[in-house]
Amino acid sequence: MVLRESPFPNRLLSGLYSLGQYLLFPSYWAADCLLDLTETTAERQQRRCCRCCPLQALVTGPLLLLLLILSMPSALLGLLLWLPMQAARRPFAYKHNVLSRHPEVWELPGTGKVFSFVSANVCLLPNGLAKNSNLGQMKQRAARIGQRLTHGEASTSFASPRSSQFDRERGAGPGEISVPFPPDVDFVCLQEVFDQRAGAHLCQLLSPFYEHIVYDVGAYGLQGCCTLKVLSSGLFLASRYPVLAAQYRCYPNGIREDALSAKGLLSVQVQLGAAHGQRIVGYLNCTHLHAPAGHSMCYGAHAQIRCDQLTMGLSWVQLFQDTHAQRGDVVAFDVFCGDFNFDNCSSGDELEQTHEIFRQYQDPCRVGPRQDRPWAIGTLLNYLHIHEEAVSTPEKLKRTLEQEEGRRTYLAGPILQDGRPDPSAAGSPWEGRRIDYILYREHPTTISLTTEVEKFSFITQLAGCSDHVAVGLQLLLNPAPQ
């Protein structure tokens, strides 16, 4: 493989980097535990049912604060060691796990082939920060997410039938609300895998199924970006097909709390097969754009940041493809996915809805600005209600989202230009905010391929594990008739 597994060129630098992390960990752990004292709605309800003592935080808090203060000298030493090591670190880790079962190599000319993609925001931040999204228990959620990504199809078939009411409301089309992930997904693109321990655990759980994994993506410290980065990009990519090249770029324009994370674009080139002795390749681009600022008079400035990030992303994608293309390559697919943090129904997201990316790439769920397909629904859950009984399991979440009243209650609603909820969105039909995207485009190559969307899925398998609904895309590629 062209890619080496360690992000460092030698063991000495890798060891020094690990030593810096060990010295930083006590302060990191104490600060996270202090923030973790905030209760989620589920924890609050459990405390009321069990009649637990609310004074526990008053005892634990001072002890954690004392530990944080006492660990500061070692943290300072660790920081002085950790920061310079970033200059030697490649901005991602790569795992190549040789499997006995390989995907079928595609050869052209021949029959068509279906490729499946999944994109999901999994909110795997440190526990204290995840509480802002009404989620905690990062370690347990990481384990459940990994198990559901690899074993979710065992419980029910992928093409789970929609209710007749949902069919009547939304009409026919390639879209569906599905409980499990597709069986044998070819490519998994995740966002918000910010915690390094969660990323390593996901890598361990997925490696028996995915031979190639790119994780711990991001430039920490002051490397590659203009501000200090204490969190990674949160991007994570697993592929059943060989990764030929990978590149990460950091967005330089994040502000407020977003400036502390190395959000950016991860681009990879994968090899799918051969055609007349030439490579058949695919391109995947995974990103997480600037997060909304909430109710703010300067909401338009945050919209401009997202537009600028998309513009940078398009230029980086083209540069990456120009750099790694070979003469005669057959490009099977070019996918751009992730959490864009804007939707196609809110008046507050009008600027992003007309961005150039929607002229270069196709959105299967979209007709045009402010108009989605009848079967498309929102992907951002109302975080205050994610622990309620109606959405507590994948099956219950699916049934709830098939009903318009359920979507109104449990999906986040459209917003105005200042970030406030849009009261005019009370009309029907009501879809919610679809901020998770999988876009694609065709490439002119020596062997023409036709691209057809075979299925687009809104997947409820991560119920209780995230405040987002995962999305899946199946593309059918056929050689065009000569």
**Mean pLDDT, consecutive 10-residue segments, the chain of 482 residues?**
79 92 93 87 71 65 89 93 90 89 77 93 93 90 93 47 50 86 93 95 94 94 77 96 95 88 96 88 97 65 92 97 92 96 91 96 95 94 93 96 94 83 71 95 81 95 96 92 65
- Closest-CA residue to 436 (of 90, 212, 122): 122
Based on the domain organization, do 43 and 152 belong to the same domain? no
Output the pTM of the full model.
Answer: 0.91
Number of domains in the chain: 2
CA separation for the pair 474, 178 (Å, rounded): 13
**Inside any domain, residue 3:** no
Which residues, in sequence order, are bridge partners of residue 243?
Answer: 270
Residue 4 located in a structural domain: no
Q: Is residue 6 part of a domain?
A: no
pLDDT of amino acid 165: 53
> 329 and 206 share a domain?
yes
pLDDT at residue 155 in the model: 44
Intra-chain end-to-end CA distance of the chain, in Å:
35
CB atoms within 10 A of CB 118: 23
145 closest CA partner among 181, 99, 91: 181
Residue from 201, 387, 443, 468 carrying the catalytic annotation = 468
Residue 469: inside a domain: yes
245 falls within a domain: yes
- CB burial class (10 A; 0-12, 13-18, 19+) of residue 341? buried
> What pLDDT does residue 27 have?
94
Asked if 339 and 191 count as a contact pair (C-beta separation under 8 A), the reply is yes
Q: Is 468 a catalytic residue?
A: yes
Query: What's residue 107's pLDDT?
Result: 80
Angle at 139 between CA 198 and CA 458, to 5 degrees: 75
Closest among 37, 43, 41 to 58, alpha carbons compared: 37
Q: Is residue 5 part of a domain?
A: no
Final residue of a structural domain among 58, 84, 110: 84
Instruction: Select from 84, 116, 147 the last residue of a domain.
Output: 84
Based on the fold, state whether residues 38 and 120 are members of the same structural domain. Answer: no
Which CATH number is 282's domain given?
Answer: 3.60.10.10
Residues 131 and 73 reside in one and the same domain: no
Give the C-alpha separation, 454 to 173, whole Å.
10
- Is the bond preceding residue 109 a cis peptide, omega within 30 degrees? yes
79 & 147 share domain: no
201 and 56 belong to one structural domain = no
The residue segments making up the domain with residue 308 are 91-479
∠ Cα 321 323 327 (to 5°)? 80
Which one-letter DSSP state was computed for residue 436? Answer: E
Same domain, 56 and 129: no
Q: Which two tokens stand for residue 421?
A: 């909820």
Find out whether 280 and 272 touch, Cβ atoms under 8 Å: yes
Same structural domain, 103 and 46: no
Give me the numbers of helices (H) and strands (E) for the chain, helices first please. 13, 16
Which of 84, 104, 127 terminates a domain? The answer is 84
CA distance 465 to 237: 19
What are the two backbone dihedrals, phi and then psi, of residue 110, each rounded to the nearest 5 degrees?
175, -155
Are 42 and 76 found together in one domain?
A: yes
Tell me: do 77 and 106 sit in the same domain. Answer: no
Is residue 61 domain-shared with residue 173, that is, in the same domain? Answer: no
Q: Does residue 2 lie in a domain region?
A: no
Residue 155 in domain: yes
Do 110 and 56 fall within a single domain?
A: no
